[in-house]
Structure 1
Amino acid sequence: MVKRLIIRIDEEKCNGCGLCIPGCAEGALQIIDGKARLVREALCDGLGACLGDCPQGALYLEEAEAEAFDPELVAALLEEQEAKESGAARIDTGSEGLGGGCPGLRSLSIDRQKEKQKEAAPTQYDSEEATSTRSELGHWPVQLSLISPTAHYLKGAHLLVCADCVPFAYGDFHKRLLRDRVVAVACPKLDDASQHVEKLAAVIRANDLAGITVARMEVGCCGGLLRIVEVAMAMAGVALPIHDVVISIAGEEKAAQIREMGA
């Protein structure tokens, strides 16, 4: 037991709506007997990412004696939940409800090798018009706020920290930026920058990343994304060169440079 911040639920205020469940990427919260419950203290990282999701104000952080946060336990739980869903990319619309958390938050890898094999064997129906660009996305989720620092696909990965607007503006996004990279999507203007810094620092610290690329738009507010990565890297005490790619509003690669960072 250690003294640390831990999530607490005011049962009188909680109405069991379940909106807090997706806010906890670690799966520490579940709806049990019509109320939000902390499944186990070791699953709660104490960062409070779920606090803003409760319309009743029933969630709060308390400094108290509690089990230490256990990232390995979190990873095991999420893997178990993923295994239960068997066929990770399957969409389950059954009646399990919110008790097990949001299926969209499960960390999973997407096998693109089978798609490559299919493309290598053309059929009589193939034509230039029918051919589409293959997705290079190899994992889920993609939003930085939803990604768990302990997700298996992050180990030794090249991380692409990408502004929300880039995939819409840049036609070659999948081929030139996403391929062979793990993406974390964020908006430096609309999102909580401090939360992103903390999450990125945890990701960088825990995963021995092969590299980091920042993809951002040319608009001024998007420069904040690079700053978020720089601060997170300093917080993590890790020095990696940052590949900084700037995309124009017209959808062209306007600039690309490598920024060396000191630990």
Structure 2
Amino acid sequence: MIRKIIEINEEKCNGCGLCAKACHENAIGMVNGKAKLLRDDYCDGLGDCLPTCPTGAITFVEREAAAYDEAAVEANKRKKNRQWPIQIQLTPVNAPYFDGADLLIAADCTAFAYANFAKEIQKGKITLIGCPKLDPVDYSEKLTAILEQNDVKSVTIIRMEVPCCGGIQNAAVTAMKKSGKFIPWQVLTVSVEGEVL
């Protein structure tokens, strides 16, 4: 069928990943440092990605394309968000749920200290947890391997305000640097009173 769908100009794409993050259908992914339309049937043609592109690499075109398949999009979201285990030491380095994922690296106390953790922080993210004080390991090597071997869209680090939680933040930042990839990231800090600072 002929329909409106996005087109990405690879020459204009700077690899920032903002469009992939804005695409709620997971139709856009980062491949070799460039945004790519992964499946025509995942693109709803509404263009949530357009205003996020700082270089104007995304436009609409009308062309032969598979019809938008909402059921397939929803099934893909459920599949991508299904993961086990979540402990950093136990999770595999390469798993399908990491590709195109918004990764959440959490100090394990944060899920218990912040009451809306699952609804506000974890929702839609692939989650890895650990305790830098109790686990006798440097997470940076494992996290580096995960970032190097998978197409992670973004990283959110959540930690408690206590000094020992700095270890999880340091490991994640070190891993992002060692991976050699530009991945949008942020750090959230939870107070001992259970509020995001």
- TM-score bin, normalised by smaller chain: 0.5 to 0.7
Aligned residue identity for 1:220? P
Per the alignment, residue 213 of structure 1 pairs with: 156
Task: State the identity as a percent.
Answer: 38
Residue 223 (structure 1) shift: 1.3
User: Contact (CA 8 Å) 1:155, 1:207: kept in 2 or not?
Assistant: yes
Select the residue among 73, 94, 118 that pairs with 1:150: 94
Residue 161 (structure 1) shift: 0.2
Report the aligned-residue RMSD.
1.6
TM-score by length of 1: 0.43
Per the alignment, residue 141 of structure 2 pairs with: 198
Equivalent-residue separation in structure 2 for 1:229 and 1:192 (angstroms): 16
Equivalent-residue separation in structure 2 for 1:248 and 1:193 (angstroms): 25
Residue 191 (structure 1) shift: 1.7
The 5 Å alignment of 1:78-227 reads 138-194=82-138, 196-227=139-170
User: Contact (CA 8 Å) 1:188, 1:225: kept in 2 or not?
Assistant: yes
Max Rg structure: 1
Residue 252 (structure 1) shift: 0.7
Once the two structures are superposed, what CA deviation does each residue of 1:84-127 show, in whole Å capped at 9, x if it has no partner?
xxxxxxxxxxxxxxxxxxxxxxxxxxxxx79xxxxxxxxxxxxx
Equivalent-residue separation in structure 1 for 2:99 and 2:150 (angstroms): 5
User: Contact (CA 8 Å) 1:193, 1:228: kept in 2 or not?
Assistant: no
Equivalent-residue separation in structure 2 for 1:235 and 1:139 (angstroms): 25
Select the residue among 174, 183, 187 that pairs with 1:244: 187
Aligned residue identity for 2:98? L
Residue 212 (structure 1) shift: 0.1
Aligned residue identity for 1:198? E
TM-score by length of 2: 0.57
SS of residue in 2 equivalent to 1:253: coil
Aligned residue identity for 2:186? H
User: Contact (CA 8 Å) 1:187, 1:222: kept in 2 or not?
Assistant: yes
Unaligned runs of 5+ in 1: 1-112, 115-136, 255-263
Residue 241 (structure 1) shift: 2.8
Per the alignment, residue 196 of structure 2 pairs with: 253
Aligned residue identity for 1:186? G
Residue 198 (structure 1) shift: 1.0
Q: Which fold has the larger relative contact order, with Cα–Cα distance below 8 Å and residues 6 or more apart in sequence?
A: 2
Residue 192 (structure 1) shift: 3.2
Equivalent-residue separation in structure 1 for 2:133 and 2:184 (angstroms): 24
